[in-house]
Amino acid sequence: MVFCGRVNPITGSLDWIEEDENYDYHQEIARSSYADMLHDKDRNAKYYQGIRAAVKRVKKRGEEAIVLDIGTGTGLLSMMALKAGADYCYAVEVFKPMADAAIQIVKANGFADKIKVINKHSTELTLGPDGDMMQRANILITELFDTELIGEGALPSYEHAQHNLMQERWEAVPHRATVYAQVVESHRLWSWNKLLPMQSDSGTIQPPPEMQSCPGAPSVCDVQLSQLNPSDFKALSDILVVFRVDFSEQISSSSISHVVNFKLLANGAAQVVLSWWDIDMDPEATINCSMKPGWLYPALHPVPWRDHWMQCVYFLPEEKKVMQGEEICLIAHQDDYCVCYNLTKPSAAERSSAESPACRCGAHITWNRARFGELNDQSRMDKYKEALKKILTPSSMCLCVSDGSLLPMLAQSVGAAQVYTLESSSMAQQLMDKLLQTNQLKETIHVLQKSPDKVTMADLQDRKVSALIGEPFFTTSLLPWHNLCFWYSRTALTGNLAKDCTVLPISASLYVLAVEFRDLWRIRSPCGSCEGFDVSIMDEMIKTSLDFRESQEAEPHPLWEYPCTALSDPTKLVTFDFREKVPTEDMTAEGSLNLVRSGVCHGMVLWMDYQLTEDISISTGLLQVSDETGNCQWYPHRKQGVYFFSSLWNPEPAPTYSQSSVTYQLTFKPQLGDLRMRFIPK
């Protein structure tokens, strides 16, 4: 056993947890995307077609087909090559658990004598009788791509392999990749990147100027663009070809800028670049695998679903007002691992900076994209304003406990006499100071960078808190109940609270819903076989890793990106009363919920609803269920918890589906800040 130090997202403390020495191994396997990739029939079929065509071209030249498969994973592509007629394969996998699995899978399928699995990075391979490879290869097969195409270091790996491991003439599968982009205006997407002005009772809360001019975070925002409604953006350009990479030619990983001139389709504000790529598996481009979003497919055309490759949202360094018919230049700056975009006049293209964006204001380091969206949600903030008006008076002594919240400014705007706010880090404190200074509130709102248990009466100028407020939101939170950190903070602050102190929110309730996912279930579904090859060993590894803990855990997922159907009514499991201190005894709940629709029940979704006042509440989960279809609408700025059943379950079809139910057992352990759950379909 080993001890691992981890921040407890509920209590906020550093806990030393005793774990099995194989804990990290199981975590890597459980969180891998191998099941998702193995279920991607479109990807697998296109690779198989491309590999067969490449082997055929080599054989037609009278040569032996020697394959180098970089990033082999399960060994699937190497086995495809052997089945297509290749003579020998070198299958390279740097992640040891996967290399071990590939050895077993290759052996189980009868290819152990013709596939050599090598547990190394491809740049470490050696040639020769005593080396990893007896001879150079003439077919290069890779699956080194991510949502951004090159983010997993594909270009350096290709460059090294082509110079050191391939014959003078080689075939590549895939043969080429093409990156596409479209410039758009989108209030919804832009609100993920900038803090927008917000209306309060005393005026407008303005973002700091340095936040508005900041180029933002350097990392790409990957998202299931198929779930973005086309009405959420205005296209300012056609779909542009930005650059191509031909994998059958010598590749350079050196930085380069790609310049694309185009005419604007409409007036607007250029804010965002949407991007995706496709790969041609053969030189003639007859075998194509595309990552384009669903709304670009013809009506009724099946849209391949994949979560390992999504689409990209890039935020331009600054918003640019543009005019229809104007000629403008989109520049993609590409290095060996990432791409960033800039928009400029054609005459200024040569002077465009090739530096990747880097946050200068602190906000893009402190807040993620969903948090920006939540802070910019005016309708949500209006509910907080309404609730604050009900509880605050000119004599209120108000303390806010939430990370990077606008509630202190709203509390001041509705008339609170004194407002304090706790921030968990020095960067968060600096960010809040900038906000207050911009809005001339530094003299009326006081920022404390302290943990709740360290706050003294002297910090509060010897006044008791009459109103404790929070959203609640904490940057360490991953799952909905992690924001119970507010409850622990309230408990730690008890000595600083007035006897009649009002707490907002009053309480939080944990809800659950049984669902059928359209596609998300694939990431946890066994594969058994793939393209005729037995990969069940991989299923066993994933299942063992998922069952590694005593009971299953929920996973955080932004469900607005993953359509699902409600099979039950939403059910309240337990309520946490913030007016009282955290109890010392376990809180338990058990019962059952009936299914009200037929379908395949893939699992349960959990979320929190907050009761701000007796008559005002907000939800971080289910917003609406269609009466006709059962389709769910989810709150887009928080992740919901998803508990997958270990095996898919198909309840009785209508009209007897009402006899089906799910029993639940839930235990909240206050001393550990741990929520344990078990759901059993009946």
Tens of pLDDT, residues 113-142:
999 999 999 999 999 999 999 999 999 999
pLDDT-derived band at 657, boundaries 50, 70, 90? low
Q: 174 and 277 in contact (C-beta within 8 Å)?
A: no
Residues involved in catalysis:
143, 152
What does DSSP say about strands 533-534 and 632-634: parallel, antiparallel, or unpaired? unpaired
Q: How confident is the model at residue 102, as a pLDDT?
A: 93
Virtual CA dihedral for 143, 27, 99, 103, nearest 10 degrees? -120
Give the containing element (helix H, strand E) for 156.
Answer: helix 154-164
Q: pLDDT at residue 352 above 80? A: no
Mean pLDDT calculated for residue range 289-301:
94
AA identity, residue 272: V
Give the containing element (helix H, strand E) for 546.
Answer: helix 536-546
Mean pLDDT calculated for residue range 252-259:
93
The CB density around residue 89, as the number of other CB atoms within 10 Å, is: 28
CATH of domain 377-504: 3.40.50.150
Give the containing element (helix H, strand E) for 555.
Answer: strand 555-557
- CATH 2.70.160.11 matches 177-360: yes
Ramachandran sector of residue 381 (left: φ over 0; alpha: ψ -120 to 50; beta: rest)? alpha
Provide the H-helix boundaries in 13-115.
23-31, 34-38, 41-60, 76-83, 96-108
Write the pLDDT tens digit of every residue in 137-156: 999 999 999 999 998 889 99
CATH of domain 507-681: 2.70.160.11
Average pLDDT, the chain: 91
Residue 498 CA to residue 487 CA, distance in Å, equals 16
Write the pLDDT tens digit of every residue in 180-195: 999 999 999 999 999 9
Q: 620 and 608 in contact (C-beta within 8 Å)?
A: yes
Residues forming a β-bridge with 589: 666
Q: How confident is the model at residue 269, as a pLDDT?
A: 98
Q: How confident is the model at residue 219, as a pLDDT?
A: 84
Q: How confident is the model at residue 13, as a pLDDT?
A: 63
Q: How confident is the model at residue 656, as a pLDDT?
A: 47
> Of the segments 10-24, 193-207, 483-497, which one has the largest average pLDDT value?
483-497
> Of the segments 164-178, 330-344, 526-540, which one has the largest average pLDDT value?
164-178
Q: 419 and 446 in contact (C-beta within 8 Å)?
A: yes
Which residues of the chain form CATH 2.70.160.11?
177-360, 507-681
pLDDT-derived band at 664, boundaries 50, 70, 90? very high
Q: 255 and 335 in contact (C-beta within 8 Å)?
A: yes
pLDDT-derived band at 296, boundaries 50, 70, 90? very high
Residue 521 CA to residue 603 CA, distance in Å, equals 8
Q: 263 and 601 in contact (C-beta within 8 Å)?
A: no
What percent of the chain stands above pLDDT 70?
A: 91
Q: pLDDT at residue 654 above 60? A: no
Q: pLDDT at residue 347 above 80? A: yes
Contacts of 476 (CB under 8 A, 6+ apart): 7, 9, 12, 482, 485
Q: pLDDT at residue 550 above 50? A: no
Fill in the DSSP letter of residue 281. Answer: S
CB burial class (10 A; 0-12, 13-18, 19+) of residue 279? Answer: buried
In angstroms, the Cα distances linking 405 to 17, 213, 380, 472, 491 are: 31, 21, 13, 9, 20
CATH of domain 34-173: 3.40.50.150
CB burial class (10 A; 0-12, 13-18, 19+) of residue 94? Answer: middle
Q: 422 and 403 in contact (C-beta within 8 Å)?
A: no
- pTM exceeds 0.85, yes or no: yes
Q: How confident is the model at residue 152, as a pLDDT?
A: 87
Q: pLDDT at residue 3 above 80? A: no
Q: pLDDT at residue 545 above 60? A: no
Weakest-pLDDT range from 64-78, 505-519, 524-538: 524-538
Q: pLDDT at residue 583 above 60? A: yes
In angstroms, the Cα distances linking 585 to 63, 204, 259, 668 are: 73, 45, 64, 9
pLDDT-derived band at 314, boundaries 50, 70, 90? very high
Q: pLDDT at residue 16 above 60? A: no
Q: pLDDT at residue 268 above 60? A: yes
Mean pLDDT calculated for residue range 21-32:
53
Residue 623 CA to residue 632 CA, distance in Å, equals 8
Q: How confident is the model at residue 582, as a pLDDT?
A: 97
Mean pLDDT calculated for residue range 227-242:
96
Q: How confident is the model at residue 15, as a pLDDT?
A: 61
Q: Token pair for residue 221?
A: 């925002």
Q: pLDDT at residue 462 above 80? A: yes
